[in-house]
Amino acid sequence: MQHYRALCAVSLAALATAGCASISKEECLAGDWRSIGYQDGLQGATPALLDQHAEACARHDVVPDAAVWRAGYEEGLVSYCTRVGGFQAGVQGRTYHDVCTGEAADTFLAAYSDGRALFEIRDALDKARSSYNGTVRQIRSLRSDYDEAVATANNVETPDDQRTAAVNRANELAEEINDLNGELPQLQMTILSAEAEERDVEQRMRMEYPEWPGN
């Protein structure tokens, strides 16, 4: 049940768009509103999430116990609005909904910024790898087309006009392939640089946040 709610409760806007219920039928009927509130607070959800729960549970003729939910929610926020909570939320790329207050908010946000920095480095690395792999796939596809064009051009049964077209096509493909091959070294360097930055920042973060679950 917890995984279901964790996926659906990330964003109220996303819920409205995707039509994803904030809570399952089983959770509505079980009525453990303190635990539900605690998990919502632990995820850094907004208090408005209770309205989503009420709407979801109304389909099953269940009304949330708002007072009990809020008590659990406040307990969850205590654990969320911490140094490690902020760092973990940042590393996971989660949106902060301005739910922490006072000194806890300052502590959370400083750590959230550190975690977010690592998240963005990893995101850039993923994009660099995706770009490289996409270029490699494109080259393979073009090579297949090139081989087909060459085969057509070399086939003695190919009419002259089609042979000319095949030769022209093969030359065009060869140029595209060469251009893409020329991009690969730079893409590889981008990956290596991003990997080095990730290692450096991650090592520093592990020292600064020994309580981080990622350690």
Give the Cα-Cα-Cα angle 18, 24, 27 (nearest 5 degrees): 155
pLDDT digits (tens, 9 = 90+) for 121-144: 999 999 999 999 999 999 999 999
3-state secondary structure of 111: helix
Compute the distance between CA of residue 23 and CA of residue 5 in angstroms, rounded to an integer.
Answer: 6
Are 27 and 5 a contacting pair, CB within 8 Å? yes
Q: Which amino acid is at 117?
A: A
pLDDT grade, residue 104 (50/70/90)?
very high
Q: What is the pLDDT of residue 31?
A: 83
Q: What is the DSSP string of 154-187?
A: H-TTS-HHHHHHHHHHHHHHHHHHHHHHHHHHHH
pLDDT digits (tens, 9 = 90+) for 163-204: 999 999 999 999 999 999 999 999 999 999 999 999 999 999
In the block, tokens 């990730």 appear at 198
Cα atoms found within 13 Å of the Cα of residue 37, Cβ hemisphere only = 22
Contacts of 96 (CB under 8 A, 6+ apart): 44, 89, 108, 109, 112
